[in-house]
Every structure is written in C-alpha cells, then in structure tokens.
A = this chain, B = another copy of it.
Amino acid sequence: MITIAVDAMGGDYAPGEIVKGIEAARDRYLDLSFQLYGLADQVPALIQNSERIEFISVSEVIAMGDEPVKAMRQKKDSSMVQAAQAVHDGRADALFSAGNTGALLSCAIFIVGRLKGVDRPALATALPSFGSQHDQFVFMDLGANAENKPNHLYQYGILGSFYASHVLGYQNPRVGLLNNGAEEDKGDELHKEAHQLMLHTQAFNFVGNVEARELLDGSADVVVADGFSGNTALKAIEGTALTMLKQLKKAILGAGWRGKLGGLLLKPAFKSMAQQLDFNEQGGAVVLGVKAPVVKTHGSAKATAVANTMGQIKTMIDQDLVSDTAAFIVENHEALKVKKSAN
C-alpha cells in the first residue's frame, strides 16, 4: 500500500475539488491510501467514503500570497507543513499540494530533504511536444532556483533523464540544454560551462543546445534550463498560447455569419487543439532531487486533474524513481565530484 500525504487546503478550489479528486483516485487506484491534512470544520464533511482516506486535523493554512520560507517556518501546524512532516517521518510516501509553489518547494527541500549528492533540487514539468515520437518532454528548472552554477544544470540532466525514463517510459532519453544558439560556444559563461560538462558525460544522453524556438518541436525529451530562463520560457509559452486562443476567438466573433458558421463547424478541431496545448491537464510539476515524490498541480486544478496527478505519483513510486536516482548519484559520487571541481 502506498500512502500519499495530501495538503487538502491548497489551491483555488480547495478543499472541495481536492477531496473529490482524492476520492476518485481512491476508486481508481486500489493500492493507494491517503492522508488528508486540513481544517476540521471544512474537510471531514466533504468526505463521502472514508475507505483508505484518513483525515488529519491541522489549525493553519499557507495562503497563495504567503512568503514561502517564512510561511514554512512560522505555520508549523499548517496542512502543507504537516503533510511534509509525515513524509519526512516515514508515515507517508509522497507529498501532494495544489497550493503555494514556493512554500511547497521549501517544504520539499527543508522538510522532506534533499537527496545526498544533489546540490539543488529542481522543479520539472511535462510540456506538449509536436513532431517527435513522444507527445511530451520534460522541462526543468521552472524557477526553483534563481541563481544557478554549471554543475546544477549538469545534475538537472541526471534528474530529468531519470524522470523521463522511469515515469514517461522513454528509452535513453535525449537531454538538451536551453541556450541562445545551437553551437557549443553560445550563451553566457554559465551555459558555455554547463555545455562542456554535459558534452562528455556518460550519465545521460546529451544532444546539445536547444533554442527556445524549438522547445515544442520535440528536439529533446528533456530540456534543462537555469531556473530564471526556464521560468521565463515556460511563462512566455503559456502567455503566447493564451493570447493566440483569445485572438482566434476574437477574430471568429468579429467575422459575422461566416465566423459563426465556421466556428461551429471547426468546434471539434479547436477543442482537440486546445486540449493538446492545455498544460494543466498534462499532470503536475514535480520537485526532483528530494527524498520522496513531491508533486504540485496548478492552483486552478479541479478534481480530474487532482486524480490524474495521483496516478503520476503512483508511477513515480511503482517505478522506483527516487531510489534509482539516489543510487545512481551515490554510485557515481566520485565521477560527479570531478565534474563539480571542473567549474
């Protein structure tokens, strides 16, 4: 039996949609059990069937706008911190929240704890990929780290490669480095040095630089970025997709009867396109490099997205993602240290 510690109070639709999603996941995955951390006057009344669902009462909630590290330190009896503590103590196997991303990162790093040998855990997500044999690629770091060193990016290659092979099932995943040019001498010092570290590694299958223009083209199965530009690229992609859908709608509405009829005819086509581009349905963002699966869904996640994310966590555990990553890093400790001293 796998036990997932759930922050039932995080997210725009918490606790209602969280509880609903957990009950759906419980019915779908028979080897999952759940601990729901939440306020006693809100959560218990929502649980329809408490089979494999344990409610644990807390007195505080970390808000979306709270300063992450401060919130983690001061709100010790919050749903998120208590859920993280359960994972740290071995009472649960994984941590889930749809709440404050920064606070969840802090809980992952400081309470669940870093894997031995990992300098900077990173936030990763799967984005849609067009034109490769796979329909998703792993993109990281999404902003867990504002300042990066070459060795961090090198380690992201290891962490992302394990995620792609274990959770997405890709064989020998192709790892690329987000950089502002294809040639190996492109970019600032950080990216030039990271490229050199990756170039001769045996730890993963490096395929060179990837430009932001090609991100969605399937040029690589894992794209590694420093936290600042990874965050920038992710948000630029999301913003552009949203803007285009809005402009498309506007153009159709502005086209009179032609627009009305054409829009009606193309509705199924638009819907399938919008689904392919819906990053939120593709599962949660994962903190890689910590001692247990820690997964965050979008703040606006509803029950279905929550339930799907439980399936993602189950795969991470079934496929031994964390233990295999940890073992690799320990086994290659000396080799990785050499890499480290090189910068």
A interface residues with partner B (beta carbon < 8 Å): 130, 143, 146-147, 178, 180, 187-189, 191, 211-217, 227-229, 231-244, 246-248, 251-252, 254-255, 258-259, 261-266, 268-270, 272-273, 276-277
Q: How far is the CB of A219 from chain B (nearest CB, A)?
A: 10
Task: Kindly state the separation between the CA atoms of A189 and B228 in the bound complex, as whole angstroms.
Answer: 11
**Which one, B232, B252, B258, contacts A236 given CB within 8 A?**
B232
A233-B232, A239-B214, A240-B216 known; A259 vs B251 contact (CB < 8 Å): no
A251-B270, A259-B269, A277-B247 known; A213 vs B238 contact (CB < 8 Å): yes
**Which one, B217, B233, B262, B270, contacts A265 given CB within 8 A?**
B262
Does A232 contact B258, Cβ atoms closer than 8 Å? Answer: no
For A146, A236, A238, A276, which residue has the most chain B Cβ atoms within 10 angstroms? Answer: A236
Contact residues in B for A237 (Cβ distance below 8 Å): 236, 239-240
Does A235 contact B258, Cβ atoms closer than 8 Å? Answer: no
Contact residues in B for A246 (Cβ distance below 8 Å): 130
Contact residues in B for A215 (Cβ distance below 8 Å): 236, 239
A236-B212, A236-B237, A239-B215 known; A255 vs B247 contact (CB < 8 Å): no
Contact residues in B for A242 (Cβ distance below 8 Å): 213
Given contacts A251-B266, A258-B268, 15 further A-B contacts (CB under 8 A): A146-B180, A187-B228, A212-B234, A213-B236, A216-B243, A229-B229, A233-B233, A240-B241, A244-B273, A251-B269, A258-B266, A259-B269, A262-B264, A262-B269, A265-B265
Q: How far is the CB of A242 from chain B (nearest CB, A)?
A: 8
Does B228 contact A212, Cβ atoms closer than 8 Å? Answer: no
